Amino acid sequence: MLSAKMIEALNRQVKEEYYASNLYLSMASWCEVNGLSGCAAFMYEHAVEERIHMMKFFKYINMMDGHAIVPEVPMPPSEWLNIQTVFAEAYQHEKKVTNLISILVELSSKEQDFATLNFLQWFVSEQAEEEVLFKEVLDKVKLIGDGPQSLYFIDTEVQKINNRVPGQENGAEEA
Ligand code: OFO
């Protein structure tokens, strides 16, 4: 079963995943009101994914005889300078979460909590995939630049990437 320290650490991660979900939801909203429907669909999908991650942690804590706590989370930003800063911030956020998962892996290993170590492997792979994906989008956004019509091309390219990812074929309506 889980140590008190591990329960606390896993509950902190519940909060982080919840915040990530709200951050991407806010980014989706900003994209949508700025006419970037492809980018909005991408962010809506990721908001849902982060919520699923939160629930995975939540249910694992209770399954292992801990007590999952519904956290209070800070309000995410609602305004961005441009679409470039949205994706730059999202990529930085993914890197931060990867680091948090690594800290959890370290703790479970130190405590010889092999069940949690095993549980976390899914998140290790997921974070690697997400970092690659967000970096790809950011690279594309940088490549297109901010000349005339760049917003149209960025939105089209992000929509294409979104359609390609398994389980993310649908737009914001389904999210
Ligand atoms: Fe929770 O997957 Fe990225 O952040």
Cβ–ligand 1 contact at 97 (below 6 Å): yes
Structural tokens at position 118? 């095993």
What's the rounded mean pLDDT across residues 79-85? Answer: 96
- Give the C-alpha separation, 139 to 134, whole Å: 9
What number of residues does the chain have?
Answer: 175
What's the rounded mean pLDDT across residues 12-41? Answer: 97
Question: What atom in ligand 1 is closest to the CA of residue 130?
Answer: 3
Structural tokens at position 88? 């730059």
Q: How confident is the model at residue 148 (pLDDT cuts 50, 70, 90)?
A: confident
Is residue 174 situated within a structural domain? Answer: no
Question: What atom in ligand 1 is closest to the CA of residue 20?
Answer: 4
Percent of the residues in the chain that have a pLDDT greater than 90, as a whole number: 90
Torsion of CA 19, 23, 29, 33, to 10 degrees: 150
User: Model-level pTM?
Assistant: 0.92
- Give the C-alpha separation, 24 to 174, whole Å: 16
**Is residue 140 pLDDT above 70, yes or no?**
yes
Number of domains the chain contains:
1
- Give the C-alpha separation, 6 to 107, whole Å: 8
Q: Which domain holds residue 106?
A: 4-164
What pLDDT is recorded for position 166?
Answer: 63
What's the rounded mean pLDDT across residues 30-55? Answer: 97
Structural tokens at position 68? 């999952």
Structural tokens at position 138? 């950011």
Is residue 115 situated within a structural domain? Answer: yes
**Is residue 32 pLDDT above 80, yes or no?**
yes
Is residue 47 situated within a structural domain? Answer: yes
CA distances from 118 to 56, 67, 162 (A): 13, 20, 29
What's the rounded mean pLDDT across residues 122-132? Answer: 97
Is residue 170 situated within a structural domain? Answer: no
What pLDDT is recorded for position 89?
Answer: 98
Backbone dihedral angles phi then psi of residue 36, each to the nearest 5 degrees: -105, 80
**Is residue 173 pLDDT above 50, yes or no?**
no
- CATH code for position 74: 1.20.1260.10
Q: How confident is the model at residue 167 (pLDDT cuts 50, 70, 90)?
A: low
Is residue 127 situated within a structural domain? Answer: yes
**Is residue 58 pLDDT above 70, yes or no?**
yes
- 150-164 helix and 37-63 helix, angle to the nearest 10 degrees: 40
CA distances from 32 to 7, 38, 46 (A): 37, 9, 14
- Asked if 29 and 139 touch (Cβ cutoff 8 Å), the reply is no
Is residue 175 situated within a structural domain? Answer: no
What's the rounded mean pLDDT across residues 59-82? Answer: 97
**Is residue 168 pLDDT above 60, yes or no?**
no
Cβ–ligand 1 contact at 47 (below 6 Å): no
Probe ligand 1: pick from 12, 15, 18, 50, max atoms within 8 Å of CB? Answer: 50
